[in-house]
Amino acid sequence: MLKLKETLSQYWLTIQSNLFPWLKEELGETTEKQRLLITVLEVIRLEEHIPSHFGLPGRPMSDRIAIARAFVAKAIYNMVTTRILLDRLKCDPAFRRICGWEKVNKIPSESTFSRAFAEFSKSQLPEKVHEALIKKNYQEQGQIVGHISRDGTEIEAREKPVKKIKEETKVENKQKRKRGRPKKGEKVVKEPTRLEHQGKMTLEEMLGDLPKECDIGCKKNSKGHTETWIGYKLHIDTADGQLPISCLLTSASTHDSQVAIPLAETSYGRVTNLYDLMDSAYDASAIKKKSIELGHVPIIDTNPRRDKALKEELKAEKKRLDLLHFELPEQVRYRERSASERVNGRLKDEFGGRNIRVRGHAKVFCHLMFGILVVTVDQLMRFVT
């Protein structure tokens, strides 16, 4: 952490001692949101990830770097629509100049913003910027992460859910087996689950196999009531300090356990961590095995499912520990998993996670990743401020 703090301190010293005073002379007094926007843009360096079209033949494209900065600002200000963003750009000179436009007549139209956003989602711009940011501050600095907290959260979208087509297994010259207990001597061949398939797949194959269309999700909330939503599910690996390391977006109905292995592989390529913290939804032998293979210690809340004996045993164990006022080391570490819930809350409440107005997996993920970029930089800067 010392190397990381030194690097971030240099960033913050440059921003605070050089950039902020210069901007104060140019723009006047800046607000807290404007200072956050300036800090995020200075740290992520969008211009290094967007190709320049200067000098190419044909009609010149509008400044894509300024538009990308504007979408970062949209996440910071938690704006619902692009029209609100355009109105703010036209009436707020300081905000407009931070994004990259000197004059009002240089601001592109709403349709140009829409086309640019489609390009950013197709090229996975915010995902690539986020990956480069994490690798630069962790992998290149040789930092070790203590805990990775894995969790999924619902994402509501304004689009029609895709109807699922039930695929019937085609067996030539054989009748479909009836439901229920098999007959004596009858052999029943179980189809392998997605988790079992993932053990033999590459990361690219696992990511391609995950469902990505909009559908209906269902879960029990903290009070035990069932909730449903239309849209997607965002899966995040969060490091100590509420820092998002990697994210994946799937259909709303996708079970958390099906995303654990590809998410773990993605994070493994970015950081080195010691412990994997997961709730009872991830309690599966394949997930534990993969975590150990990657050199991690899995700490997963036990899911008794329909095992009544195990349920009673867990209750009795809890009573014994409460009586002795004793906590197991795993229980102490497991409390760190609350970092993932805080990231989910900040993304939704502060940085656009509830303001989904685009459609399709790629665009929804792009919108969310602009918010994740802001959360990442904000949490990094909190290490030194």
Q: What is the pLDDT of residues 343-358, one digit of tens each?
A: 999 999 999 999 999 9
Instruction: Evaluate the CA torsion angle 37, 38, 39, 40 in order and state its sign.
Output: positive
H/E run at residue 156: strand 144-156
Residue 348 domain-assigned (yes or no)? yes
Please tell me the distance from the alpha carbon of residue 316 to that of residue 57, in angstroms, as a whole number. 75
Between 278 and 166, where is the model more confident? 278
Residue 92 domain-assigned (yes or no)? no
When divided into structural domains, the chain yields a total of: 1
CA distances for 185 relative to 100, 110, 177, 189, 286, angstroms: 74, 68, 14, 13, 30
Report whether 351 contacts 78 (CB < 8 A). Answer: yes
* Residue 62: band (very low, low, confident or very high) from pLDDT cuts 50, 70, 90: low
Report the pLDDT value the prediction gives residue 208, as an integer from 0 to 100: 94
For residue 166, the one-letter residue type is K
**pTM, full prediction:** 0.88
Mean pLDDT of the chain: 88
Task: Supply the DSSP string of 14-43, one letter for each residue.
Answer: HIIIIIHHHHHHHH-S--HHHHHHHHHHHH
- Residues above pLDDT 90, as percent of the chain: 64
Report whether 139 contacts 271 (CB < 8 A). Answer: yes
Report whether 134 contacts 372 (CB < 8 A). Answer: no
Q: What is the pLDDT of residues 123-157, one digit of tens each?
A: 999 999 999 999 998 887 788 999 999 999 999 99
Task: Identify the residue whose tokens are 């029943």.
Answer: 188
* Residue 170: band (very low, low, confident or very high) from pLDDT cuts 50, 70, 90: very low
Residue 361 domain-assigned (yes or no)? no
Residue 326 domain-assigned (yes or no)? yes
Mean pLDDT of 188-197: 82
Both tokens of 43, joined, read 């740290």
Q: Where are the alpha helices (DSSP H) in the chain?
A: 2-14, 20-27, 32-44, 64-76, 82-91, 93-99, 110-123, 125-134, 194-198, 203-209, 257-268, 285-293, 308-324, 329-334, 338-350, 361-382
For residue 229, the one-letter residue type is W
Task: Give, as one character, the DSSP assignment of residue 137.
Answer: I
Both tokens of 99, joined, read 């994004």
Report whether 198 contacts 210 (CB < 8 A). Answer: no
Residue 298 belongs to domain spanning:
144-161+192-356
Task: Identify the residue whose tokens are 């970062």.
Answer: 72
Residue 206 domain-assigned (yes or no)? yes
Residue 184 domain-assigned (yes or no)? no
Residue 16 domain-assigned (yes or no)? no
Please tell me the distance from the alpha carbon of residue 64 to that of residue 70, in angstroms, as a whole number. 10
CATH number at residue 258: 3.30.420
Judge residue 242's burial from the number of C-beta atoms within 10 Å of its C-beta, 0-12 exposed, 13-18 middle, 19 or more buried: buried
Report whether 244 contacts 137 (CB < 8 A). Answer: no
* Residue 31: band (very low, low, confident or very high) from pLDDT cuts 50, 70, 90: confident
Report the pLDDT value the prediction gives residue 160, as an integer from 0 to 100: 93
Both tokens of 106, joined, read 């240089």
Residue 102 domain-assigned (yes or no)? no
CA distances for 79 relative to 115, 196, 281, 348, angstroms: 19, 42, 33, 12
H/E run at residue 149: strand 144-156
CA angle at residue 376 from 350 to 101, to 5 degrees? 75
- Residues above pLDDT 70, as percent of the chain: 87
Please tell me the distance from the alpha carbon of residue 299 to that of residue 288, in angstroms, as a whole number. 9
Report whether 120 contacts 50 (CB < 8 A). Answer: no
Mean pLDDT of 268-278: 95
